Structure 1
Amino acid sequence: MYPFNLLSNYACILFFYSYSFFPGGNSAVPGCGSACCNLPNIVVYESTCVFIPLLCSLYLQIFAESKDEVAVVLFGTNGTCNSLASEDQYQNITVHRSLKLPDFDLLEDIQNVIKAGSKQADFLDAIIVSMDLLQKQTIGKKYEKRHIELFTDLNSPVSEDQLGIIIANLKKTGTSLQFFLPFPASVDDGSGDASASVHAHMHRNTFPRKSLTEQQKQGIDVVRKLMYTLDEEGGLEEIYTFRESLERLSMFKKIERKPMPWPCQLTIGPNLSIRIVAYKSVTEEKVKKLWSIVDAKTFRKEDVQKETVYCLNDDDETEVQKDDIIQGYRYGSDIVPFSKEDEEQMKYKTEEKCFSVLGFTRSSQVHYYMGSQALKVFAAKGDEYAAVAFSALVRALDELKMVAIVRYVYNRRCNPQIGVAFPHIKDAYECLIYVQLPYMEDLRQYVFSSLKNSKKYTPTADQLSAVESLMDSMNLVHEDGETSEDLFKPSKIPNPRFQRLYQCLQHKAFHPDKPLPPIDQHLLEMLEMPSVVRERCQAPLERVKALFPLKEVGKKKEEKTAQDIFKDNVNPAEDFRILVRKKNADFKDVSQQLINRIDQFLENKGSQYYMKGIDCIRVFREEAMKLSKVQCFNDFLQALKSKLEDKALSDFWEIMVQGRMLNFRINGKNSCSRAIKRFLQFKLPKSHR
């Protein structure tokens, strides 16, 4: 449970500026919720903490898409701005923001705009202003509750004249109240006695033991009297420290919403039908994208222009129109076209939503391998006949240890699923829980070789005993014979992915040019192994290490030759470029491998092979010039000339003389240039053309 009960539709934040009794510098602290906030103008640990919990509370509501509205009231300000202010009443209290949904503008105000004042104000007067604001701004609106949160160090004068009126009105309007202080409410002197507060008892060793002023002692008495009168049993538990609120609010939590009912008919055969209603019990939680792409310079969404083009997979990347494209599926080496008409024709057509029992089987035959959600199925509310029939089905399945195999269709636009519905009986209710079953292609069966078949890897009795002891020591359930307790509770741990995402968004909202912050330490601690389990595992773990010694095995790196790399490679030109630039590379050997590939391209006699051969010749020339191996390239040209004379390669020659070899032209500063010019002037005999 978070200390902020943010189910309210309307809330008010109050800030109180006063002089703190702790030494330090100046600081301004904001607030949130329906709360009164004390913004001490002295920087100390507790005073700094007030700033963070308030921001965390607002961040929580923004990222959780909460519909709660928040107002901000500051007290202890230099000026006065509220509807109750008169010449000598409700002075130095300012309504900074009326009831609105929290947004980043409010966060920016709290961080950068609101400055600490030098005046003092009565926090009870601030509560009255908050109650008046909530009363006036919620007229004619529907809301679930109203709530006030007060942040203060109690270092200002307080008058109890209207305390009874405040208590009566809070009870009458059903407005809840919480206090947040920089010290435990039970600390009334330097002794640090925390016996009267559960929260203080939990953190009694985490607060500095500094003497409170007489004014703060009086304020604590008023707070305790107020909260105890409002609720004799749990009133004092609504008094929190800044540290406690920070610990609870440091984790982002999505607002829990009531699941939508899914009414349907459970059918067994053609003649038996039971009205049911299903709810999602467990489902995958996905991040909702709340941001859009903007231009990096202007930060405007409109300046980002998206353009999609479709191109053929050829050398020229020929563009085609979207209307000329249809879906295709690869079948071996062929691509089978599949138009939208074919898709509509072959699409499975369902009628309406369905929850039909296909048969029954023993529960031991079913393994829960599949599905991203679980449904709880109940009898339709208010239907007595359905309730009796449904209860009989659930109890019969439970007694016989059977489950129902069900055909489930959410609506006519969804494909059908095959799932299992198993009975679930509790003291307060009974239902069926539906889980999707896998199809054959959904299963992946991995078979691993047995350790028992290899004498080399067969574990000894001591090794088996050590591993068994380690597994027993890692048990996360503590049992004392009658009861059991989970030592690691995943349900209490927030989604780490969401925590990190929202932490980064929160940081970038106000520090766009700074690097992302490290992962919150509080989150890392929540994900760590329970200390009890860690201590229990030490001895078995050391035993396992001793019985299973690890030896580092150096992996031998297989060296590939140029022939291995060039073999069946689709881009020998680039491979040649990489190989010749390696240390200790033999240019002559590597170039010979490239020449062999060029010969293969010429033997195939096709335009696509000729183009690859020309690319190889071009790269050969470039690297020969860079590495001063011009003579090697000239020798290749002479050999190529002889091959062209001996073989009918007129088509290859035509490609070269029609401009494909123009990229070979250089500035004529070396013999390679002259050799290329002579090569280009060469003409095949007419008998070869």
Structure 2
Amino acid sequence: MPPKKLKESIIFLVKIGIVRHGTQSNSMLLDKAKFILKHIIQRKIFLCPKDEIGVILMGCDNSKSNSITELENIQELCRVQVGNWNLIESIEKLQTTNQNYSWMEAIYAAIEYINHECVDKSERKIILLSDFNEEEDVVSQFQMDDIAKTLSSEEISLIAIGERDLDNIDKDSQTASEGLLMSVLREIGGQYLTFERAMSDVCFYKRPSTKPMPWYCQMELGNFHIPIAAISKIPTEVKLPKMILMGKTSTPDMPEQEVPIKNIAQWTDNNRTIHTEEDIIRGYVYGGKSIPVSDETEKTMTPKTNEKCYKIHGFTAKENIPMEYWLSDGTYVIVPANESVSAPFYSLVQAMVDKNVIAIVEKVYRANTEANMVALFPSIDVPNEPWCLIEIGLPFERDYGAIAQRPLKFVMKQLSKEQNDAIDDLLTSLELPEAVDDDAIDINEKYLPGYMPDPGTQHMWDMLAARALKPDKPLPPIADDVKNLLEQPEFMKEKCKPVTERIKNLFSLEKKQSPNTRKRRKSKEKDNEQSDNGDVFMQSVKTDERDITKDNNDKSDNTISILNACNVDFDEIGDI
């Protein structure tokens, strides 16, 4: 079992003052910093509620209050605490000042603040947000080796966020402050981001990275046994917490307060006598008689014959398992359990690739559970991925009818060559580009499992945050960033545009009324005529009957003519 992940303790160093005498503070830079802090704290509230957060302000006037660091113009906004909405509201109220500061002093203040506040063992980080434009005589007072050594000795990582992209700027074009910062980051292995990059990264609340929990078993192939490890390829999405009903209550001793409402299950019999869960014995009713089944009886009724196994029953050609047979919700990657069994495992993978076959496996995940059938697809020579077997679930014959689709062979036969070629070109245009350059690699990575966040969950988090921070205001509309997740990429639109134009010209759609609509319309017209000619209705009954008979004959003639004019071969449909 992998070691338990430590909680994070993040200290934000936020610039609200100035770094040079005679300059004005940048309110736009503070707004960007607020945006980053707000979204990081919201992510901690939703996904990592145990992580701790502290905020230190650089360039504030701390003459009226005592500070832990006791440094001039550097003060902590709050004590280290878990993420909460009150902290976000305090950050939104921050205003710029004209007090001077330097980020080098703030680093030492943050280290002292961490040692004072972070008592429990945790993964400690400092996120520094500034424009890094201090004067050279101020920068010269600090040494890179001293700053890096202090951070390394305290096991504190550093992430810096600035205005300019320093990775693409020559050292000669960097300010003295930027040069010192990059030297420190290179020495301790830190990270530098621009405000724009950081804002785009924190917009979406992604699932925190965790170590996979492998499932170990013996893969049986005849008399051979190969120890394997199965790892989930697609992580489980984070689920929103369940809604909790709240009610207001008050007592003479305590003021009005909100408390959660607990649902208590109660059962009543024919005499309306209330019974609690402890008095209930579940059972079945057959033939008018109640058959109680206690927990002990239910355990004895459960069969205990299945053992944990992963048994290969045979191999079949890959084309015999089309995509419509792929039934499982997730996908597992099968790799050897250790290096000692890698030779026979990879030999099996190579043999399956050479023969172009897949394996049919009986899988029992845990003892005394039902068996499932899965298919193993060999996967080799995939960039950044090891040789492995991909496990995908298969349906039993009794379950296939629920997912079976009606074949479209009779429709495909009626397409012309131009129409068939247009459909093939459309499918080709929807394929992702090959990874031949950096842009193509970035595009392909966006569509890997777990890369893109769930738009529905993201929108729900945004609405919950808006309701928590502004309970009296209406909810905002869907964010543009969330909408863009559902938009087709521009390069894909350009590729599909000429093909879609061809399809519009080759395929024509005509709006037709259903037979029931036509019958209702004729019936309505007939009722209107009868209401208008109510005086002569009795005299024209026999004539109407003859007309109706004639109309029915005309309808049957029209139906036959329609069938003759239709291009669909109904005989072929019946044979399928």
1:525 aligned counterpart, secondary structure: helix
> Higher relative contact order by CA 8 Å / sep ≥ 6: 1 or 2?
2
* CA deviation profile, 1:165-207 (whole Å, cap 9, x unmatched): 32332344453323323x3256xxxxxxx96189xxxxxxxxx
Residue 327 of structure 2 aligns with an amino acid whose one-letter code is: M
Name the counterpart of 1:110.
91
For the 8 Å contact 1:283–1:372, the answer to whether it is kept is no
Relative distance call for 1:434 and 1:503 in structure 2 (3 A) is: same
**What amino acid sits opposite 1:404 in the alignment?**
A
Whether 1:196 and 2:169 are equivalent positions in the alignment is yes
Partner residue in 2 for 1:189 = none
Q: TM-score, normalised by structure 1?
A: 0.60
- Structure 2 equivalent of residue 446 of structure 1: 405
Measure, in 2, the Cα distance between the counterparts of 1:486 and 1:14: 31
8 Å contact kept, 2:334–2:389:
yes
AA aligned opposite 1:51: K
CA distance 1:485–1:94, change in 2 (3 Å):
closer
Whether the aligned pair in 2 keeps the contact of 1:227 and 1:235 (CA below 8 Å) is no
320-329 vs 543-552, greater mean Cα deviation: 320-329
Q: Do the aligned residues in 1 keep the contact of 2:379 with 2:389 (CA within 8 Å)?
A: yes
1:150 is aligned to: 128
Q: Distance in 2 between matches of 1:135 and 1:394?
A: 53
Tell me, yes or no, if the aligned pair for 2:315 and 2:357 is still in contact at 8 Å: yes
Q: How does 1:640-659 map to 2 (within 5 A)?
A: none
Q: Is the 8 A contact 2:281 2:293 kept in 1?
A: no
Determine if the alignment matches structure 1 residue 48 to structure 2 residue 31.
yes
Residues 100 and 327 (structure 1), Cα distance of their counterparts in 2 relative to 1, 3 Å cut = farther
Q: Structure 1 residue 224 and structure 2 residue 178: aligned?
A: yes
SS of equivalent to 1:295: strand
Q: Deviations over 1:357-378 (max 9, x none)?
A: 3333344433451112222233
Displacement of 1:231: 4.5
Aligned-partner SS, 1:300: strand
- Structure 2 CA distance for aligned equivalents of residues 343 and 367 of structure 1: 40
Match of 1:15 in 2: 14
Out of 466-475 and 510-519, give the one that drifted further: 466-475
Q: What residue identity is the alignment partner of 1:256?
A: S
Q: CA deviation at 1:440?
A: 1.5
The one-letter code matched in structure 2 to 1:196 is I
The 2-side partners of 1:148 and 1:135 are apart by 13
CA distance in 1, matches of 2:429, 2:379: 31
CA contact (8 A) 1:120 1:156 kept: no
CA separation of 1:328 and 1:506: change in aligned 2, threshold 3 A: farther
What letter matches 1:257 in structure 2? T
Q: Which moved more, 1:100-109 or 1:288-297?
A: 288-297
Give the match's secondary structure for 1:259.
coil
2:435 & 2:338 partners in 1: Cα distance?
Answer: 39
* CA contact 2:43–2:205 (8 Å) conserved in 1: yes
Aligned match of 1:122: 102
Sort the Cα spacing of 1:377 and 1:81 in 2 relative to 1 into closer, same or farther, 3 A.
Answer: farther
Is 1:75 matched up with 2:32? no
Match of 1:419 in 2: 374
Q: Which residue of 2 aligns with 1:178?
A: 159
Q: Is the 8 A contact 1:479 1:485 kept in 2?
A: yes
Q: Which moved more, 1:436-445 or 1:278-287?
A: 278-287
Helix, strand or coil: the match of 2:481? helix
Deviation at 1:230, TM superposition (A): 2.3
Per the alignment, residue 287 of structure 1 pairs with 239
Q: Which whole-Å CA distance do the structure 2 matches of 1:470 and 1:350 have between them?
A: 51
Q: Is this contact kept in 2: 1:292–1:301, CA < 8 A?
A: no
| C-alpha distance in structure 1 between counterparts of 2:288 and 2:506, whole Å | 56
The code of the aligned residue for 1:437 comes to L
Closer/same/farther in 2, CA of residues 291 and 7 from structure 1, 3 Å limit: farther
Match of 1:625 in 2: none
State the secondary structure of the residue aligned to 1:238: strand
The DSSP-based 3-state class of the residue aligned with 2:16 is: strand
Match for 1:230: what amino acid?
Answer: V
Q: Distance in 1 between matches of 2:375 and 2:199?
A: 44
Equivalent in the alignment of 2:429: 473
Q: Which amino acid in 2 is paired with 1:380?
A: A
CA contact (8 A) 2:217 2:228 kept: yes
Q: 1:548 to 1:115 in 2, by over 3 A?
A: same
Mean alpha-carbon deviation: is it higher for 409-418 or for 337-346? 337-346
Quote the offset at 1:250 in angstroms.
0.5
Q: Is the 8 A contact 1:361 1:402 kept in 2?
A: yes
The aligned residue for residue 651 of structure 1 is: none
Paired position in structure 1 for 2:198: 245
Contact 2:359 2:377 in 1 (8 A): yes
User: Per-residue deviation at 1:55?
Assistant: 0.7
SS of residue matched to 2:483: helix
What is residue 219 of structure 2 aligned with on the other side? 266
SS of structure 2 residue aligned to 1:475: coil
Q: Structure 1 residues 490, 465: closer, same or farther in 2, change over 3 A?
A: same
Residue of structure 2 aligned with 1:501, choices 450, 453, 460? 460
1:159 aligns with 2:138: yes
The reply on whether 1:540 has 2:499 as its aligned counterpart is yes
Letter matched to residue 452 of structure 2: I
Contact 1:407–1:417 at 8 Å: present in 2 too? yes
**Structure of higher CA gyration radius:** 1
TM-score by length of 2: 0.71
Distance 1:413 1:110, change over 3 A: farther
Instruction: State, as a whole percentage, how many aligned pairs show the same letter.
Output: 22
* Aligned: 1:381 with 2:338: yes
Q: Please tell me whether residue 302 in structure 1 is matched to residue 240 in structure 2.
A: no
Which whole-Å CA distance do the structure 1 matches of 2:244 and 2:335 have between them? 41
Change (3 A) 1:414 1:504: farther
Query: Which of 45, 64, 87 pairs up with 1:62?
Result: 45
Paired position in structure 1 for 2:229: 277
Unpaired stretches in structure 1, ≥5 consecutive residues? 1-5, 22-39, 187-193, 199-216, 561-689
Mapped pair 1:133 → 2:113: yes
Paired AA for residue 406 in structure 1: V
The corresponding residue for 2:525 is none
1:477 partner SS: coil
Distance 1:338 1:392 in 2: 56
Compared with structure 1, are the counterparts of its residues 7 and 469 closer, same or farther at alpha carbon in structure 2 (3 Å cutoff)? farther
Aligned CA distance change for structure 1 residues 467 and 400 (closer, same or farther; 3 Å)? closer
1:439: Cα distance to partner?
0.9
Give the structure 2 partner of residue 168 of structure 1: 149
**8 A Cα contact 1:72 1:97, kept in partner:** yes
SS at 2:231's partner residue? strand
Q: Secondary structure at the match of 2:211?
A: coil
Q: How far did 1:502 drift?
A: 1.4
Q: Is 1:365 aligned to 2:320, yes or no?
A: yes
- SS of the aligned residue for 1:282 comes to coil
Change (3 A) 1:184 1:111: same
412-421 or 288-297: bigger deviation: 288-297
Asked if structure 2 preserves the Cα contact closer than 8 Å seen for 1:66 and 1:255, the reply is no
Unaligned runs of 5+ in 2: 250-255, 522-576
Aligned-residue CA RMSD (Å):
4.4
